[in-house]
Amino acid sequence: MHFSKTYAQLLYSLPPEFRDSAIEYRQLKKLINQVVKELNGLGLSPEVLQHALQSSALGKEAQGENNENFKVVYELVNVADHVEPRLRLWVKPKDSEDDFSDMIPTITLPLSSVDGQARITSESQEDLAEQERPNSPLAASIISSLAESSFSHDERSVAGPSTSPPDSDVTSREMIIPLASDMTFFDVLIRALDSLTTRLAVMRVDFEADLERLARGVTLTARPLSTSSAFHPTSPLSTNPGTVSVHNPFSHALAVGSKSDLYVWREIFQLYVESEIHESTAELTRGERALPDSEARFALFSERIAERVRAGHAFKLKESRAAFATFMRLNAFVLDLRKFQHATSEATRKILKKHAKRTALPLAPALPSPFALPAGSPSAAVAGAIVPWSARIPGGSLSLMLGQALGQAVLPIIPHIDDYACLICTSIAFKPIRLRCGHLFCVRCLVKMQKRGQDHCPMCRASTVLSADRSNVDWALLNFMRDWFPRECKEKLKQNEKEATREELEELGLQVQGCVIM
């Protein structure tokens, strides 16, 4: 299937906001036909032009004498705010002793000679269609990139190897032939990329606004226990750590209007982290995932969420459902943006390659991508407080940045239990004891170590275990755990009480047995 059909089908599968900003691939193909027609009208058919450009590229060191009589260079000249393609020719007069004049194409444009240089006349200049020039950062960036490999010959331009005359003979005549159709081709392409850049900037601002609303929605619907009357903070002045208890946050103690979807959101975010939809954190595959892999992972994530909804793990608040719909929509947007980015990059690459193949003109330098984020650019810092790290992305793509921003903005809102686990039993470190060395463990694990006479910290081997007492309780962290992990803390307390009871019975020499029905 031709790329133009594949490109059209892919655009049709994307939302209208992407289709309206796409590069007109078929229009550019028609403009290439016009360039070929213009070159043929000048007597520069692709075969003649290719032979002339190849011969000129060989220079004087090549075998044969033809290079000394005729030379042609394709230039992309930086004129004001646009690119002007043209051909620069050096030709010896026909009375030259070499019989090479027959290979020089007949130029049909009206030319005038000034100081030995043939230039287009005012009449031919009027024939060139005047078009609106793009005036934007992307257009300036494209012109700047085209000028990176430039050389100096009256004006800055990009082209072949050299613009020196075929030889030092002052009788060589120089002709400059502007290519109007080729200029229209580059104007249309640059204007399309410039329009796409503007549209992407608007999309990014809208994405960040939706992301901020999503973060606010998750914050309001995933409220911790302290938002209810069931939470009573503890302190070393008024509380004995041995009597700290955790109230059930889902009992009648919760006031009306203080319902929370904390655990539903935590489960969803845990599945989202495990899915690694947009980026892999594995050592061998670290970085942005391939688009088909990301789409498959997003589909699997959606299926797992649907299964949990059917199992009864659904949101209780309509605000949570609205926020979750926004969360899924933003993920789908990032995937659509990646599709569009790939399609646009391929369309730009193929149309430039087709331009070089059909016209026999040298391949133009690669144009800056509207999806690239230059390091330190002002546009990379507009995310503000939502994605303050975005300015540090060294030339990453827009889709990768937005995918990372989505995780960075909402995932840290809800604390993850793995960050507060005891390093010995791997469950939540409740009630937390911080040793003098700074390492944290749950009180039950440290009590067991003290009974066994083990004084060395399991992490740094410092002698800090036997000296730990009530003053080592981390009260701030204890309140934090009771606030954000009420279920886990309640379960840990039950487990600690069972273990303590069993140990006391074993110390008394009693066997721990279940109930026996006689």
Q: What is the pLDDT of residues 368-391, one digit of tens each?
A: 778 876 544 433 333 333 333 333
Instruction: Decide if 452 is inside a domain.
Output: yes
Domain ranges, residue 437: 418-508
pLDDT of residue 411: 92
pLDDT digits (tens, 9 = 90+) for 469-501: 988 999 999 999 989 999 999 999 999 888 888
Angle formed by the axes of helices 25-41 and 318-359, to 10°? 10
Domain membership flag for residue 218: no
The answer to whether residue 412 is domain-embedded is: no
Residue 435 to residues 243, 407, 442, 460, Cα–Cα distance (Å): 21, 33, 11, 11
- On whether residue 464 sits in a domain, the answer given is yes
Tell me whether residue 474 is in a domain: yes
Minimum mean pLDDT among 224-233, 245-254, 266-275, 339-348: which range?
Answer: 245-254
The lowest-confidence range among 30-39, 111-120, 311-320, 379-388 is 379-388
Global pTM reads: 0.75
Is residue 455 included in any domain, yes or no? yes
Higher pLDDT, 433 or 172: 433
Residues 6 or more apart whose Cβ sits within 8 Å of residue 458: 423, 424, 439, 441
Q: Which residue, chain included where needed, has tokens 């290079």? A: 67
User: DSSP code of 251?
Assistant: S
**Domain of residue 447, CATH code:** 3.30.40.10
Q: Which pLDDT value is given to residue 224?
A: 87
DSSP 8-state secondary structure symbol assigned to residue 456: B
Tell me which range, 154-163, 166-175, 241-250, 496-505, is most confidently predicted by mean pLDDT.
Answer: 496-505
Find all residues with CB under 8 Å of 511, minimum gap 6, and list them. 505
Is 106 domain-assigned?
no
* pLDDT at residue 85 is higher than 50: yes
Rounded Cα distance between 361 and 357, Å, is 7
Burial (0-12, 13-18, 19+ Cβ within 10 Å), 94 = exposed
Look at residue 497 and tell me if it is in a domain: yes
Structural domain tally of the chain?
Answer: 1
